[in-house]
Amino acid sequence: MRSTPTALSADVLVLGFGKGGKTAAHVLTDTGKRVVLVEQSENMYGGTCPNVGCVPTKMLVHYSNAKRLEDDAPEFFANSVAGVRALTAAFRAGNFEALDGKDTATVITGAARFLDAHTVGVGEGEDRITISAPTILINTGSEPIIPAIPGLADSRHLVTSTDLIQKDRLPSRLAVVGGGYLGLEFASIYRHFGSRVTVLEAAERLLPREDDDIARAATGILAGDGVQIVTGAEVVEVRDNGTTSTIRYEKDGQSLTVEAEAVLPATGRRAATSDLGLDAAGVRTTASGAIEVDEYLRTSRPHIFALGDVNGGEQFTYISLDDSRIVLDQLLGEGKRTTSDRVAVPHTLFITPPLATVGLTETQARALGHNIKVSRENVADIVAMPRAYTVEETRGLMKFVVDADTDLILGAALLTIDAQEIINTVALAIRHHITATELRDSIYTHPSSTEAFNEVFDKVLPE
């Protein structure tokens, strides 16, 4: 790395090496602007996704599904983690070199704290570097929430999602507190590796935002894989007992317990803002600690923008990427693009098979007064989708909510092999007003999962 002076000035200062920040930094340097990017940890070059989020977890999904009955579970797991570490290390190095190697970019490693609205300090004492810029982008991401359950924070067996994917020892028993996306993904991954997994969810069913039939099908698949799912469970205490912890929870008026070698709280993530010194910059935050932004992602100080998880929006890498487009339009373009331009943003829960959704659920569409028809078919019954049989994964279903008057697709829930890919086609159809009939009658490669469209749109449920 090139030597760094104790005081720097830049055209744009970026705090955090996440997707939105690094994307904006690359574009800005390519236009000749001087960019300084500050990342607090050398282990996070590139942001959450390639280091402790999307990439390592989905790689673990891949490895866990490749495990054979004859494989030694602890050894197979350790080898899988080694593979993940090798890939994430390569990504980190690539992300650093790609940006720091540019003539007009500098990457500084250390914790940044605002000194005033245009200046941050990185480091302490004689080693402190001050960096000032007329434009600042905050992209510091989010961090796991540790719920205030007695005994949990001090437990030797507490693991965050970051901790869990960095350990090469497979826990024989894993307890997951919370049945949201993160919790269910880890439950599925570690069950396939061979851990005994218990999910403790406070709500009365998993996936409360989804229709009952979708939630029931996903729950059935997880349970069929051996994940113990306890809904309506309020965790009240975690107590260490040597090599394990006892997790005490209440359900239906009873006090029950489960033992585990590792306890994963999966109850959400909060914006990483507590150490930024935002008060010194005059940047306002919400009650939850997220940075307040307008539809252009400007904060209460118009020259400071907040991108990605830190602004309290949806916590997905592709949202952070789209945030960068909005900010770049402000800095380099016409300044017209806003967060309200987003339509039909898809989501995927990477259990096996994955659940991908976009748009309205059946319940939401009916509540909004739409005249709808619902097309649904179990994957195992879709004759036009032999790919499910070729990869030996026929579990799940496909469901589409269609406006009966216009034939436009209002929403979809795809619990199927390749759902994370198919949903992008559906989202594109929604954005560009392509009808269900057009999707049904289009030509698709064979054998593929997308060709299921040729059949499922004709499987209309009776009212």
Which residue in this structure is represented by tokens 């997707």? 19
The angle subtended at Cα 97 by Cα 94 and Cα 100, nearest 5°, is 145
CB 15 within 8 A of CB 136: yes
- Measured between alpha carbons, how far is 25 from 40 in angstroms, rounded to an integer? 16
- Measured between alpha carbons, how far is 101 from 122 in angstroms, rounded to an integer? 21
Cα→Cα distances 258→184, 199, 283, 415, Å: 18, 10, 44, 30
Q: Name the β-bridge partners of 374.
A: 401
Q: Name the β-bridge partners of 348.
A: 356
Cα→Cα distances 290→284, 286, 318, Å: 9, 5, 18
For 197, phi then psi, to 5°, come to -120, 135
* Crossing angle of helices 73-100 and 181-193, rounded to 10°: 130
Q: Name the active-site residue from 118, 347, 370, 446.
A: 446
User: Is the preceding omega at residue 353 within 30 degrees of 0, hence cis?
Assistant: yes
Active site residue 446: yes
Could you tell me which residues come within 8 angstroms of residue 97 by beta carbon, excluding any fewer than 6 positions away?
Answer: none
For 92, phi then psi, to 5°, come to -60, -50
State the DSSP string of 130-174. Answer: EEE-SEEEE---EEE-----TTTTT-TTB--HHHHHH--SPPSEE
Structure tokens at 148: 């205030």
Active site residues: 446
